[in-house]
Structure 1
C-alpha cells in the first residue's frame, strides 16, 4: 500500500529526522569526553564535519538518482552491488539500530532521573519507564509517517533550544585562558586530531536518515537532498559552537571530570536552576532520537521484504501506510536489549553489542559510497559530463567511511564481520524462496 500524499512528510519533517537522529543524548557529554585533549579537540569536530559533508553530498545525490529508493543505504547498495551486498547492509543496519535504540532509551530514563530520583534507584521503575517510551513511540509510528514526522519536528525544536542557547549565548561568557593548552596529549597535533575525530565522527551517524523512508517523502528527489544537507549544517553548528562555549566557560581540569558539562555551563550562565532545563533538553533529545530511529527501523525490513529477501510478513501495512509488523517486531528486540542493561549478568554483553552496532552502522556508508559511482555512471553516462566530480566524491566518501571503520576498533570489526557472515544462511534461504516462489 503506497503512502497517500497526506501520509507523506515534507522538507522540515525530513530535516528534523536527520537532525533528531544525529543529535541524541550523547552530545551533551561530548565536551567532557574531549576536554583531556585540549582545545585541539575542536579541530576533531571540523575534520568530522568535512568528512560528513562528503557523505551528506553523496546521499543527497543518490536520493536524486534513485528518488524512490526506500531503505536508503540498502536500496542504493542493492541497486549498485546486487542483492547479497544489499542484504548484508540491511541486516547489519537493522541489528545496529535495535541496539542503539536500547541505548537511547536508557539515556532517556537516566535524564528523567533528575526529576524522578526513583528511576536511579529502582530497576523496576526504570525498566517500566523505558518500555513505556518504546511502545508509546511504536504506537505513534503506527499512526503513519506524518504523525511520526510531526512528533520528530516538535522534539527536534525542543531539543535544539537549550543547545543553541548555550552554544550561542555561551560565547559571551568565554574565558580564553580555558583554551590553553592547545594540545594536552603526549602525541602530535595530527595524532590528537585523529583521536578526537574518531570520537566525534560517531555524532554524525544518522546523516542518512532522510533517505530511509523515501517512498513516504513528498517529492523525494528534491526534499531528501535538501533535508540531508540542511540537517548536517544544523547539527554541525550545534556541535562546534556548543563545544566552543562549554570549553570556554568551564576550565579544562574541571570539565574533564564533569558528568553534565552542558548543565554545568548553564548553571554558570543562568544560575543553579538552569540545570533542570538542560536535563529536560537531554530527555527530549533522547526521546526525539528514539522516535526517529523507531520510524527508521520499521522502514528497513519493509524495504528488504518488498524485494523478497526478508519474510513477507514485514511488508504488511495498516490503513495509514505504516509497516506496523516490522515496527512491532523491532520494538520487541529493543525491549529485550534494554532489559539486558538492567540485568547485571548481561551488562557487559549489552555493552559489547553496543560497540558492535557502531561498526554495523558504518558498513552502509562504505557500501553506499561504492555504489554511488556505479549508479551515477548508470543513470548519467560518462558522455553526459560531471563524471569526474562524481568519482572524486564517491572516493572521498569511501575513504572517509573506511577511516571511520578503522576508528571503531579491531574487536568491533572482527566480531562485526562474523555477525554479518552469520546472516548468509538467511540470505540463501530468502534467495531460494524468491527463485521458487
Structure 2
C-alpha cells in the first residue's frame, strides 16, 4: 500500500475536526439557551469568532511544526518547555477519558428511543456502553486510516439530520418566536457572556486535526485547511440549526423540550422524523467517541517519544497504532461508565466531569501562549503585528473561557494538574539519568 494511502487526507482530517466538535450535546443546546431569548444566537456568533482565532493559531503552528504529533502538547512543549507540555498531555488525557464517558452515556440515552430497556435497566445500559467502547477500541487498533474512514462516514451521517432541520426549518420560521430578544433578566453583555459560555464547549475539538499530524498526508497543508474548514462547517451547522429550532418552536415550549431538534423535525417533516433525529444523536455520539478514542492513542504516544510519559505508551502494533494509550483510555472510560450507573458513585463521576472542563481548556491557553515563541524560534521576520494581535486575542479568549468554567472547576482542576508534579519529577529524573 502506498505511503499516502496509510495516512489521513483532507476530508478524513476535516471529519475528525467536525466529528469531534459535533457531539450529542449540540442537539440539546437550543432548549438550554431558550430562556435567554434570541440573543443566544449572538452567543453562538461570539464563540465562533473566538474559536476562529484559536483555530488560526493551531493552523499557523501546524505550518511551523508540520510533523509535530500531539497537537497542543507538541506546540506547548516546543514553546514553553517540557513541564508545560507534560501538564497539557496529562490534563488532556484525563479530560478526554471523562469526556468519552459522557459521550457514551449520551449514546446510550439516544439508543433508548429504539431500545427502551436501556432507559430502565442499569445492567443493559452499562453492557451497551461497554460494547460501544470496546468495539471502537478494536476499530482504532486497525490503523488510523480505518478509524479515519469510520469518522468520515459517521460525520456525514450525523451532519445530515442537523442540516435537514437547519435548512428545512428556514421555511417554517415565525418572527414572533424570536421575541423577546433578551428575556434573561441580564444586561445584553451579561446575556451574551452567559450564552457564549454555554456554547464554547461545542467548539472543543478544533485542535483534532493537529494531534495525529504524523499520520496526516502533507500535514503542512492538510492540517491548516482541515482545521479551518472543520470550524466553518460546524459553525454553519450550529448557527443555522439554532435559528431554525428557535424560529419554529416558541421559547416557552422550547425551554421544556427534551428533544428540541426532534420537535422541530416533526413540524417540518412529520411524526416519523423524531426517529431519524434520535438516530442522528446516536451517530453523533458514536462518531465523537471514535474520534476522541483516536486522540487518546496519539497524544500519549508523542509524549512518550519525548520521554515525558512511560515508554510503554510509544509501543505500536503491526498497523502502526500506539495502542497502549487507546487501551488505557478504554479501561478508564469503562470505569467511569460503571460509576455513572452506580447510585453511590454518580456524584463522583459528575465531579470528574467538572474537573475535565478546565483540563480541556488549559491546552488552548498554553498553545496560544506558545505561538509567538515558536514563531520567534523559526526566525520569521515579517507579519509580526498580525501575529501579535492573533496571539493576544486567542490567549485572551482561552483565558476568558477558563474563567467562565467556574471557580470550582478552576480550583479543583488546578489541584488535579498539580497532583501530576511528582510523576513529572520521576519521569524527568529518568530522562536526565538516561534510563
Smaller-chain TM-score bracket: over 0.9
Q: Which residue of 2 aligns with 1:300?
A: 299
1:368-387 correspondence runs (5 A) = 368-381=367-380, 384-387=381-384
Would you say 1:431 and 2:428 are equivalent positions? yes
- How far, CA to CA, are the matches of 2:336 and 2:295 in structure 1? 18
For 1:191 and 1:121, how far apart are their aligned partners in 2? 40
Query: Using the alignment, how far apart are the partners of 1:380 and 1:392 within structure 2?
Result: 18
Alignment-derived partner of residue 102 in structure 2 = 103
Aligned to 1:246: 245
CA distance in 1, matches of 2:69, 2:423: 21
- 1:9 match: secondary structure: coil
SS of the residue corresponding to residue 136 of structure 2 reads: helix
Q: Which residue matches 1:195?
A: 194
1:86 matched residue in structure 2: 85
| Alignment coverage as a number of residue pairs | 433
Structure 2 counterparts to residues 13-412 of structure 1, below 5 A = 13-381=12-380, 384-412=381-409
Q: Could you tell me whether the CA contact under 8 Å between 1:377 and 1:387 is conserved in 2?
A: no
CA distance in 2, matches of 1:227, 1:385: 25
- Shift in Å, 1:184: 0.1
2:11 aligns to what SS in structure 1? helix
CA distance in 1, matches of 2:301, 2:422: 20
Write out per-residue CA displacement over residues 354-406 of structure 1, whole angstroms, 9 at most, x where no aligned residue. Answer: 1111111000000000000100111133xx21011111101110000000000
SS state at 2:182 partner: coil
SS at match of 2:338: helix
- Secondary structure in 1 matching 2:67: coil
Could you tell me how far apart the structure 2 residues matched to 1:398 and 1:4 are? 37
Deviating runs (4+, > 4 A) in structure 1? none
SS of equivalent to 1:131: helix
Structure 2 unaligned segments of length 5 or more: list them.
none
Q: Which residue of 1 aligns with 2:417?
A: 420
Residues 323-382 of structure 1, C-alpha deviations (whole Å, 9 max, x = no match): 11111111101111111100011101111111111111000000000000100111133x
Distance in 1 separating the partners of 2:216 and 2:418: 33
1:184 is paired with a residue whose SS is coil
1:7–1:321 contact (8 Å) kept in structure 2: no
Cα gap change, 1:282/1:273 in structure 2, threshold over 3 Å: closer, same or farther?
Answer: same
Q: Distance in 2 between matches of 1:70 and 1:4?
A: 17
- TM-score where L is the length of structure 1: 0.98
Could you tell me how far 1:6 is from its partner in structure 2?
Answer: 2.6
